[in-house]
Chains A and B, each alone.
Chain A
């Protein structure tokens, strides 16, 4: 499973993070805030086994609908 955040989703002419803070609140192992409170994916977005639930929760709680997950990406490099 892989997380993808679309920073330009519906947010005007220039990419801007809107900073709703719901991702790092609902999925603190997968997202973290930067110094202005915008959420960033930790690492390369690969969801470690066992944290799929957190990833789905982050998607379901993002008001900007900016987060998608690729359920089929099985992390081809292996565990």
Chain B
């Protein structure tokens, strides 16, 4: 990403947008867990990095001392007057407002609601595969994984599929543009909200059977939901629903491309896929969340200052040997798997049933079409940095 100087000392000057972190963060976390389990940096106006499962969990559960006012670390701290909803409710809302704003979304993402989306998701995956057939080398991230959640979430929300490139641009800016200077970052955020407000006005004028209209007609605390709240929630769903699932699908395909024994086992025992998925979610969890320290305090011996960030690297928690046996090994039939890939506590992922369905269908359709595939060039695989980790370039050689 290269907007910040390279990191020299991960204990006192870490940066989650550093190229070394993006390429392979696991050795960094492993070293920190034993040497300096809660690291610090002066970058981003001050940030902390717990790396052990128990510390990540304790902070995720402590909504009193850590606020969710913003969950993406950058130089930008949203103004206090966005409370109680925050800039992207409910992920940016603290209790007690949070619970009702979240409850409003849950029926849309229930397992029953998600099951209805499975046939169209499968058809879309098959359509993408048809476009890849006939090529010896295909990009499983660019040509497959990235398109699936964009299409699914655009259809759910009621945003035009033809705007897919626009969404991806926004999401990329929000998640990967965190090391940009404040002004450039603000510009990108404003253009996202400008776009969403246009879409919401169009739904107010022309209601239809989709999530934007559903939210506009929902009630919160006895009143219709403010369209500005709806815009910010839609922004959240767009951002949370795209890169995360794309990353999970891509990382799983990357693992299977480089691990023929696991790929062959899944071909022989397709019923193992749901268990295998959980293990790939554990080992390659895409999402790191964040909090802001509410007030100056000492936390586990760390002098935390108000408005400093705290990253919650669930992918590191998932590799903690104190929490998982053989934490660094992918054990495709791991039966006991208390992974935190979807987060922990009140802010845990609201779309996990949708994400799991997309991941399962994407892998089923891929394995059915391309039972034999391998990394075409391991050195060409490129991973995203920042708070959502997944392969962005993933060339694989497919054999029929």
Contacts and interface: CB of A to CB of B under 8 A. Distances in A.
A64 B344 contact: yes
Nearest to A35: B110
A20 B107 CA distance: 15
Nearest to A65: B338
Contact of B338 (A13, A18, A36, A61): A61
A11 B345 contact: yes
A61 B344 contact: no
Contacts of A62: 338
B34 interface: no
The size bracket of the interface on B is: 20 to 34
B345 A64 contact: yes
Contact of B348 (A20, A33, A57): A20
Interface in B224-261: none
Given A37-B353, A63-B340, A12 B346 contact: yes
Contacts of A57: 335-336
Interface in B101-115: 103, 106-107, 109-112
A18 B99 CA distance: 11
A27 to B, nearest CB: 12
Interface string A10-42: 111110101111100100000001011100000
B338 A60 contact: yes
Contacts of A37: 106, 109-111, 353
Interface string B306-341: 000000000000000000000000000001111110
B345 A33 contact: no
Given A20-B342, A20-B348, A14 B274 contact: no
B95 interface: yes
A12 B342 contact: no
Given A12-B63, A12-B95, A57-B335, A19 B348 contact: yes
Residue from A14, A33, A37 having most chain B Cβ neighbours under 10 A: A37
A14 B99 contact: yes
Nearest to B314: A63
Contacts of B345: 10-12, 18, 64
B61 A63 contact: no
B340 A11 contact: no
A61 B278 CA distance: 10
A13 B94 CA distance: 11
Contacts of B109: 37
A27 B6 CA distance: 47
Contacts of A14: 95-96, 99
Contacts of B197: none
Contacts of B107: 35-36
A30 B356 CA distance: 21
Interface in B86-134: 95-96, 99, 103, 106-107, 109-112
Given A13-B96, A60-B337, A63-B340, 7 more contacts: A10-B345, A12-B346, A14-B95, A16-B346, A19-B352, A21-B111, A37-B106
24 contacts: A12-B63, A12-B95, A14-B96, A14-B99, A16-B99, A16-B346, A18-B348, A19-B106, A20-B342, A22-B278, A33-B111, A35-B107, A35-B110, A36-B106, A36-B107, A37-B106, A37-B110, A57-B335, A57-B336, A60-B335, A62-B338, A63-B344, A63-B348, A65-B338
